[in-house]
Amino acid sequence: MLRPTVIAIPFFAILIAIEAWYASRHGSDEFRDRRDTWTNIFLGFMSVVFGAIFGLATGFIYIYAYELAPYKFPADAWWSWVALFFVDDLAYYVFHRVSHESRLFWNFHVVHHSSQHYNLSVAVRQSWFSGMLHWVFYAPLMLLGFAPWMFATMHGFNLIYQFWIHTRFIDRLGWFEKVLNTPSHHRVHHGVKPQYLDKNYGGVLIVWDRLFGSFVGEEEQPTYGITKQLGSYNALWINTHGWFEMFRTMKERRGIAAKLRCIFASPDMSQPQLYET
């Protein structure tokens, strides 16, 4: 079956075009860097291609995990979908947080953060290779008894929700801010000012951040990107620069423990040159 995110691609394209038109009409410079916008779109297109390839392997993993589940959630019960919504969103929170706190996973996720702009095209700026490992966080949902197709559907809508929060043109949204992830919350997440680093990991719900101490509200306008800006439009380099930096650091470190730390420790500890201010 086609993933919901693939079906939504035409709508993403239309909304990106509308936002670009709105920005130009209101004198915003958000889309003046057209190379960045087209790089984002190309990265997104290729992430769909690679995602389909990796999806074949992860699909088998999910099916196998589901077969091992001692209990199967009934797909025709509304409460199964409610339970899946919360479990999937929590799994995304864990995946997203680890993607910032482990160098191995940051090497994938840095692709999404390396744009110095913040608009809807950044939402589709995704790693080509993250599909190799993200199943680690989601296979447990199949072990809990959620069918792979149910997960694919729910997770797809989770990701679709996250598209619209990549904008500077929507201000705070009142009481929604207490429960849901919003453009304001996610602008903080993409910010590189010290008070904003590694905050607001939520997908649909922001309550996980409030519960686990990773929430920060938007107080001043963020500066976007990574703390040592990449300054490149080369899609291949955007996807691989983190790995080259990591292996270079590993080569400089002595001892197996120090080398392993470069892989699994937080990026600022294992790769300080990417976190200079």
Give the model's pLDDT for residue 75. 96
Note down pLDDT in tens along the chain; length 277 residues: 668 888 999 999 999 999 999 999 988 888 888 999 999 999 999 999 999 999 999 999 999 999 999 999 999 999 999 999 999 999 999 999 999 999 999 999 999 999 999 999 999 999 999 999 999 999 999 999 999 999 999 999 999 999 999 999 999 999 999 999 999 999 999 999 999 999 999 999 999 999 999 999 999 999 999 988 988 999 999 999 999 988 888 888 888 888 888 888 888 644 434 433 2
- Calpha distance 208→204 (Å, rounded): 10
This prediction has a pTM of 0.92
Per-residue pLDDT, 2: 65
- pLDDT at res. 84: 99
R_g of the chain computed on alpha carbons: 19
Contact in structure between 269 and 261 (CB atoms under 8 Å): yes
Q: What is the pLDDT of residue 180?
A: 98
* Of 275, 125, 120, 273, the residue nearest 197 (C-alpha): 275
pLDDT reported for residue 18: 96
What residues contact 10, with CB distance under 8 A and at least 6 apart?
none
Question: Rounded distance, CA 134 to CA 47, Å?
Answer: 14
Strand partners, 205: 180
